Chain A
Amino acid sequence: MPNVAKGDGMRGLAVFISDIRNCKSKEAEQKRINKELANIRSKFKGDKTLDGYSKKKYVCKLLFIFLLGHDIDFGHMEAVNLLSSNKYTEKQIGYLFISVLVNTNSDLIRLIIGSIKNDLLSRNAVHICLALQCIANIGSKEMAESLAPEIPKLIVSGETIDAVKQSACLCLLRLFRTSPDTVPSGEWTQRVGHLLNDQHLGVVTAATSLIHTLAQKTPEDFKNCVSLAISRLSRIVTSSYTDLQDYTYYFVPAPWLSVKLLRLLQVYPPPEDPAARGRLNECLETILNKAQEPPKSKKVQHSNAKNAVLFEAINLIIHHDTEPTLLVRACNQLGQFLQHRETNLRYLALESMCLLASSEFSHEAVKKHMDTVITALKTERDVSVRQRAVDLLYGMCDKSNAEEIVAEMLAYLETADYSIREEMVLKVAILAEKYPVDYTWYVDTILNLIRIAGDYVSDEVWFRVIQIVINRDDVQGYAAKVVFEALQAPACHENMVKVGGYILGEFGNLIAGDQRSSPMVQFQLLHSKYHLCSAPTRGLLLSTYIKFINLFPEIKGQLQDVLRNNNNLRNADAELQQRAIEYLQLSTVASQDVLATVLEEMPPFPERESSILAKLKKKKPNVSDIEVVKEGKKSSNPPTLNNSAANTPEATPASAPVPVMAAAPAPVQSASDDLLGLSAGPAAAAPITNNFAAPASFAAPAAPAGGGGLLVDVFDTPPAQNNVSSALAPQAEENFFNAPAGETAPSGDTPASELDGRFAIKNNGVLFENELLQIGVKAEYKGNLGRLGLFYGNKTSYPFQFFTPTVSCPGELASALNVQTKPLDVNTVEGGAQVQQIINVECISDFVDAPVLSIKFSYSGSMQQINLMLPVMLNKFFEPVEMDATTFFNRWKQLNSPGQEEQKIFKATFPIDSDTSRTKLLGFGFGLLDGVDPNPDNFVGAGIIKAQSSQVGCLLRLEPNMQAQMYRLTLRTSSTSVTTRLADLLLKLF
């Protein structure tokens, strides 16, 4: 039919395209394009009277060239002209050019917003549609700001034709996604809900998309849509395929609309109204029934559309998670799909079933399919399907089938695709820990993991096995035995050496009675691997050796020989050299008693969430949801292994200075960011003090638990000294400070003393601790408001009486910061108890000093007083800003008055590392702008200080210089005082 129209409009374009296609080489093509570009340029420049048609043709050619992958740097103005033309075809090409090219040029958008607005207000429906399409396809912020208010009218006006309504709904949806604030709320939100009843199914489909997204933000506003959606859905699923005419797709009535409605319903809980609920369940049952009917067509389109609705219905059933019958039916249906000949269906069935596994109603039903899933794991030809099978096995695993599933996963791991190995290792490690048959099985499983897939075993996994072995004394002897055996393999993975070294260092004595694993044999076995290992592992082994000196005095001589060996004593690696020297000295100088204390067996790790789980969550955010659901629902089935562990075993005195650990990615990404989540934090920290006793007594000068120092300025603890004592102690302590809050330690390279620095980039942690009291803090900030939760923990077994904390703002701070303290409910803190206090702060204007917290209480009859600074710094009221390079440079140039810029060139306090710096800047509150600075090593950032009186925009540039180990920091803000304060804060971080 439309063959008449195609191409004939622009013969020149067709000729050009043919020419390009006939080019034999890349060079020829480039030549032809250059020729054309020159031609177009001269046309655009020279002939002022170029008519609309020619303009259209040339703009089209430019578009074609652009789509071939070449850069286009002119023609925009001509496209803008076309766009404002009255002729539809010219306008259409103008819009197309802008829509395709505009991402690269936001200045252009400002230029055309006027024209778009004209079209939007035009009486000509086709012009309105073009404008809406353009807005919806670009959807930029600028457009949202100036055009969003125009669109709701189009949606609800009675005069608008259906096609425009459809476009307007989706256009508004797009703008809402770009910037929700620009979409005005109002009476139209009420009326848009009624579009669900519209005659025109195209309008209903578009409106449902819009409502679905709006309802996610403000479910209350669209609550009445639930019943409307149910009745619409009910009408569709009960209709015959002829009823809906062209909205029936391959015998399936309105599949797109059905899916959208089912998704909208997933925003809400099951309806409370029994009638609505009954009706919805009927719909869901009908959909499940239809799945059992013979297909009305053999075409794949029919089955796809039908199953699309079915899967979405199952998603809703899972979302509601209240109808056991439906859940089990869904599970059976998916079970059929598991063996379907269509790969797509098998894939989706595995995926959906994974969700069903997390429901208590269907978990058992899912487990019945275990064998099928295991077969899938072994036989599927597509790795993405096998991946789903792994996920499902992981999801359906519980105490009853853990042994079998873990065994199957281990077996599969031997041949698994490289792309999924690491994740599988994490999953096996988690399952083994969560549902252990017994601890020996657990240890065996993890060692098997290391044996089979050592390269994919991340630090978290082997840290974890050590943590568990240390915490469970019934498995220590066994662990020592099996690592000893594992190490005897001729080729054994370095991770195995690490675990072996660590465990034998702690528990080698438990197997030393056997002649085959006498101290000397153990030592020689480990040392035979020494030369093949990387420096960090060697460091760990040196720590093992010093532990051996304590455990096995009889081989002290040989061990000292190793330490004394020039390869170690003069090793180019500073860490190894230092260890060798220090350990040698320690073993020579210290008496056996001192050694025994310093090198005592590791105390148990505090119990906390598995860091492996955290790692998996980080890797696969969607998995974590399942996990959370599961933990919440199956309280009858709690994790059995004691969930004990600090992030890393680096708190051990023997291995504290191992750089590999310090550099290990800090694994736990704050599991709970809300204030409530914290309460467990500091409490869990308390026992550590005892654990810590040994190294602390050894390293007394660096431990801040300064006895009588009741007036402790926490910001003023002396920095770590580079001698053996502090090398052992403060790092361990850093871990201890960080660990309880479940927080990321900034790569472990921040000395514990840098409280100021640490709290500048994090909100949670231990603020203060002495032998009586521990104070944990957890803070949240939004805009100019902040909320701090302080947790006072009584570490003694006697009560603190008259416990009164007060917060004050000295001097100028009083007018800059508004602090409200909720008084404590009690004035006695019982022994071992913890009380919480909430402090609200509001930033009025910028400030320098921190509020002072002073605590008075009576302990055993004597009054105690503690004064500290609260970690409230200016940057806490800092919010990141995103902008493009042009905006950034414009603003940068505007801030050039004296005092607005602060530049500091300084020596790096910490090793320069791009990722760490990034984390710090983000933690500090900057939005990092990538690609603005041509040098990828530099950081460019922007943010706004949200004080109540004023908002101060801040721009930053940080240039590290690796050779010199220096930084240049440049800050520009509109306020001198802000610039200075932020620069000071930042300086301490790098």
Chain B
Amino acid sequence: MMKFMLLFSRQGKVRLQQWYSATQEKEKKKIMRELITIILARKPKMCSFLEWKEYKIVYKRYASLYFCCAIEKGDNELLTLEIIHRYVELLDKYFGSVCELDIIFNFEKAYFILDELMLGGEIQETSKKNCLKAIAAQDLLQEEADATRNVLEEMGLP
């Protein structure tokens, strides 16, 4: 099972963090600090996997963003790399050639998309089409809500 996923920039700023097992805030910060330092120090041609504490860390860099997952000993490293890739594909499709700014400004969307792909540390839906369909359905609900609000606002109601 995946223990957590982190997205951080080359400057070491965390852009998204999803924890799949209860962890104290203090501990989270410590883990993120340590891992970011380790990964940023690694050279491009190095292996994407490393053993760290009781976890295996799988990471990959896409443009200015690092995607980093912690998995358990028995888990499949290569497929974890592809979970990352699928997530990137979903973000890319959704935002239309995604960049770091999209994730900063729409962090909640990035979470919602991740929730369609992964749940409780396991892969939920591997089909890109199905994931995007689910997200589109959410947006439709949101547009409806926004449409109602706009109508009400026009009518001078709060």
Contact = CB atoms under 8 A, between A and B. Distances in A.
Contacts of B129: 246
B46 A382 contact: yes
Contact of B107 (A64, A249, A255): A64
Given A88-B138, A256-B126, A344 B22 contact: no
* Chain A residues touching B, majority SS: helix
A93 interface: yes
Contact of B79 (A64, A92, A171, A259): A259
B105 A14 contact: yes
A348 B75 CA distance: 12
B99 interface: no
B138 to A, nearest CB: 7
Contacts of B46: 343, 381-382, 384
Contacts of B23: 103
B64 interface: no
A302 to B, nearest CB: 10
Nearest to B101: A21
A461 interface: no
A112 interface: no
Contacts of B43: 381
B130 A256 contact: no
B122 A170 contact: yes
Interface in A105-141: 126, 132-133, 136-140
A103 B138 contact: no
A202 B82 contact: no
A2 B122 contact: no
Given A2-B94, A381-B45, A931-B24, A622 B138 contact: no
A451 B46 CA distance: 32
Interface string B129-152: 110001111110111011001000
B37 interface: no
A930 to B, nearest CB: 10
Given A247-B127, A304-B78, A344-B49, A63 B108 contact: yes
A9 B78 contact: no
A137 B20 contact: yes
Contact of B126 (A17, A53, A247, A308): A247
Contacts of A344: 47-49, 77-78, 81
A301 B82 contact: yes
B47 A126 contact: no
A166 interface: yes
Q: In this complex, which of A2, A7, A49, A382 has the most chain B Cβ atoms within 10 angstroms of its Cβ?
A: A2
B158 interface: yes
Contacts of B17: 67
A51 B123 contact: no
A384 B78 contact: no
Contacts of B49: 344, 347-348, 384
Given A53-B149, A347-B47, A88 B124 contact: no
Interface in A333-356: 343-344, 346-348
A201 B45 CA distance: 35
B62 interface: no
Interface string B15-26: 011111111110
A21 B13 CA distance: 12
Given A126-B138, A246-B130, A308-B82, A7 B25 contact: no
Interface string A194-228: 00000001100110010000000000000000000
Given A344-B47, A347-B47, A9 B115 contact: no
A96 interface: yes
Nearest to B18: A137
Interface in B1-51: 1, 14, 16-25, 28-29, 42-43, 45-51
A301 B85 contact: yes
A51 B145 CA distance: 13
A17 B17 CA distance: 17
Contact of B119 (A1, A63, A136): A136
B119 A167 contact: yes
B92 interface: no
A171 B141 contact: no
Interface string A76-119: 00000000000111101100100010011000000000000000
A296 interface: no
Contacts of A246: 127-130
B22 to A, nearest CB: 5
Nearest to B23: A103
A64 B13 CA distance: 13
Interface residues of A, number: 80
B79 A5 contact: no
Nearest to B109: A6
A489 interface: no
A206 B47 contact: no
A978 to B, nearest CB: 31
Contacts of B14: 67, 69
B156 interface: no
Contact of B130 (A63, A202, A343): A202
B79 A308 contact: yes
Nearest to B141: A88
Given A96-B108, A344-B47, A344-B77, A305 B158 contact: no
B24 A307 contact: no
A777 interface: no
Given A137-B120, A343-B47, A259 B76 contact: yes
Given A202-B125, A205-B123, A88 B79 contact: no
Contacts of B102: 6
Contact of A209 (B25, B76, B122, B134): B122
A723 interface: no
Contact of A174 (B78, B107, B120): B120
B150 to A, nearest CB: 10
10 contacts: A1-B96, A6-B106, A60-B108, A103-B25, A163-B134, A209-B123, A259-B79, A304-B78, A348-B49, A381-B43
Interface of B: 1, 14, 16-25, 28-29, 42-43, 45-51, 73-74, 76-79, 81-82, 85-86, 94-96, 102, 104-109, 111-112, 115, 119-130, 134-139, 141-143, 145-146, 149, 158
The 8 closest A-B pairs by CB, nearest first: A136-B120, A174-B120, A308-B78, A246-B127, A308-B79, A88-B141, A170-B119, A5-B139
Interface of A: 1-9, 14, 17, 21, 49, 51, 53, 60, 63-64, 67, 69, 71, 87-90, 92-93, 96, 100, 103-104, 126, 132-133, 136-140, 163, 166-167, 170-171, 173-174, 177, 201-202, 205-206, 209, 246-247, 249, 254-257, 259, 263, 301, 304-305, 307-308, 311-312, 343-344, 346-348, 381-382, 384-385, 387, 622, 931
Given A89-B146, A304-B78, 9 more contacts: A171-B119, A202-B124, A209-B123, A259-B76, A301-B82, A301-B85, A346-B47, A382-B45, A384-B46
